[in-house]
Structure 1
Amino acid sequence: MKSYSKISVIFLIAMMLVSCKSQKDNQKLHQPAMVTGPNVIIYKTTGDYFMHVPVGLSDDKTTIVSYPAPGDVFYNGDLAYPVRLEDGYLLDRRGISPNSAFLKWTYYEYSRMEKTPSTIELMKMILDADPFISIYDCGKPNRFNNLEEDLNQIIRTNKLSEFKRLK
């Protein structure tokens, strides 16, 4: 009987040691996942370029360095127009940067092209090489509960300074 008691006590102690874990281990399991992908960019332009396709220019704005193919101007199956926000701001869905410019072609016109225009043709179709009043990098989308509502609230309450101003 004594040997069963000793074995039971040893077994209980072993089980308690095995089942214990520190808070530190527990915290590692619940760290938020790293989010990859593009940051949320909002911008305001000097003119109404809402329907026009953006392209990327070199720093000196003399060369086109990035542009979409006609089939690339869609977002979730629809033309990738930006989202209208408060006070004339737009939420980017195409990859706007301070070196972006807008083409004379609308998203609709561009999406109907059979082939991608050459960079020479694209340069001739630029409406404005410096179309931005301001551009803000608002960080990763997961920091917002409701992206559009939250951004509009930030704009209404003049809190854009909390974000990185790109222009």
Structure 2
Amino acid sequence: MAKEITLDMSNYAGYCPGAFSLGASHHRPLSYACDALQEMRIAHRREAIQADTDVREEAKLSGLRYIAKILPNGDTSKQLIARSRYLHFKSVDKWTPSQKWRAELLFEQYPELKKAYSLTHSLRMIFSKNSHKDVARMSLARRHEQVDQAASRALM
């Protein structure tokens, strides 16, 4: 039987037998942080697509054959960003070897994505490891300072 109900479900507590304590849902803040990280990745992907299109057009106009730059893992820049989507939803220790390699290349090219991933992952760890409210509050306060220092309003 459930012992805690999140605040967004508190209206339904009267319909359930038993006593419940009210708790905050961690799904929304984590979802917002992941969405912000994905928006950053998508913005970089659009830039990579535009840059690739521009280079293709220049090659076409000058009569040269276009050959995309291939990264050490076999991806182009566009592919690297597109294929890194699922990295952001997993912990580093759950990445496959190819995902680790891809993340290394991605974070070399886009250090701001590495910082954003780190901040998002820290939020995920706060919610998964801290069961005591006071410890979680302190962890969230430290994370808030880190986000302020990173000047990333999207990840707040």
Normalising TM by the smaller chain, what interval?
under 0.3
Greater RCO between the two (CA within 8 Å, min separation 6)?
1
- CA radius of gyration, larger in: 1
TM-score (norm 1): 0.19
Question: Which structure carries more strand by proportion?
Answer: 1
Question: Which structure carries more helix by proportion?
Answer: 2
